[in-house]
């Protein structure tokens, strides 16, 4: 019997235009699409009319399908000779469990491909006007999860090293534990006044960004009702948002201003 193929595909961070051309091409041809809750819903309109669409619906505290069930679905459909596309928010190998699904395919001899996606770790800060690296400010960035596997005896994150490394810290899936994470970083030597920001629903029209410091960003997030999905950034680069780089949330105002700019203004700007 012919065995199908599995594609572990990153859908990007939320803006449907950020999906790659390869991912979109595969999405349009797949027999089965198993998707997570954070994928742009518009992408499902790109699937074949006869494609089977399965909502895996993973959320921070409850999963429509457990990971073991998702693995079983992928394997069962592929063993039936179908083309299976596993559509995941962001990048499948950045806190996306894509490695677990790839290992399941490898164990059963099912061919697979990985199609990287734009991760919210870089996209959400970019849409908030925060470059993760900036000459003279930050030469490195570190991405950590705020949602480690339940039941771990100890954290796998070396907060002491992280607090002293310098550069920029990006925290994914960390809304619930943001206070505990920032407290630990400060206890391990991070300056409490280090600029920080949190971006809710990055790259989509409902994006909302709060600025603060390592010491108060968690309290500010609670006070303003920030909910997942959200990306936190800690580091000197967070200051740049308030220095004029907050472009996305001001798009309508900027477009309006451009349409009424004096003659020659835009040409002068483009020549800089």
| CB-count exposure of residue 17 (10 Å: 0-12, 13-18, 19+) | exposed
Q: DSSP for 143-155, please give it.
A: EEESSPPTT-SS-
Give the C-alpha separation, 22 to 193, whole Å: 43
Give the C-alpha separation, 89 to 8, whole Å: 11
Give the C-alpha separation, 150 to 164, whole Å: 27
Query: What's the number of CA atoms in the CB half-sphere (13 Å) around residue 35?
Result: 21
Q: Which of 205, 204, 130 is nearest to 167 (CA)?
A: 130
Q: Sign of torsion, CA 174 176 181 186? A: positive
Structure tokens at 3: 């065995």
Residues tagged active-site: 36, 58, 173
Q: Which of 60, 18, 67 is nearest to 43 (CA)?
A: 18
Strand, helix or coil for residue 160: helix
Distance, C-alpha 197 to centroid of its chain: 15
């Amino acid at each position: 019997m012919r065995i199908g193929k599995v594609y572990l595909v990153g859908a990007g961070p939320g803006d449907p235009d950020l999906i790659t051309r390869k991912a979109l091409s595969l999405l349009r041809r797949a027999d089965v699409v198993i998707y997570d809750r954070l994928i742009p819903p518009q992408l499902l309109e790109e699937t074949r009319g006869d494609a089977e669409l399965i909502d895996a619906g993973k959320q921070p505290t409850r999963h429509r399908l457990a990971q073991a069930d998702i693995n079983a679905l992928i394997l069962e459909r592929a063993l039936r000779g179908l083309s299976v596309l596993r559509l995941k928010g962001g990048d499948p190998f950045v806190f996306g469990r894509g490695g677990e699904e790839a290992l399941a395919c490898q164990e059963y001899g099912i061919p697979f491909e990985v199609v990287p996606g734009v991760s919210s770790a870089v996209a959400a800060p970019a849409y908030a006007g925060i470059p993760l690296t900036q000459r003279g400010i930050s030469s490195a960035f570190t991405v950590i999860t705020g949602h480690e596997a339940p039941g771990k005896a100890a954290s796998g994150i070396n907060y002491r090293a992280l607090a002293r490394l310098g550069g920029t810290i990006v925290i994914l899936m960390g809304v619930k534990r943001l206070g505990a994470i920032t407290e630990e970083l400060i206890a391990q030597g991070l300056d409490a006044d280090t600029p920080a920001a949190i971006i809710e629903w990055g790259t989509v029209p409902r994006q909302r960004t709060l600025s603060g410091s390592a010491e108060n960003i968690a309290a500010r997030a609670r006070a303003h009702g920030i909910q997942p999905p959200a990306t936190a950034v800690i580091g000197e680069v967070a200051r740049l948002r308030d220095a004029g780089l907050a472009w996305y949330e001001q798009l309508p105002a900027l477009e309006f201003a451009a349409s009424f700019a004096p003659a020659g203004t835009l040409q002068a700007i483009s020549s800089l």
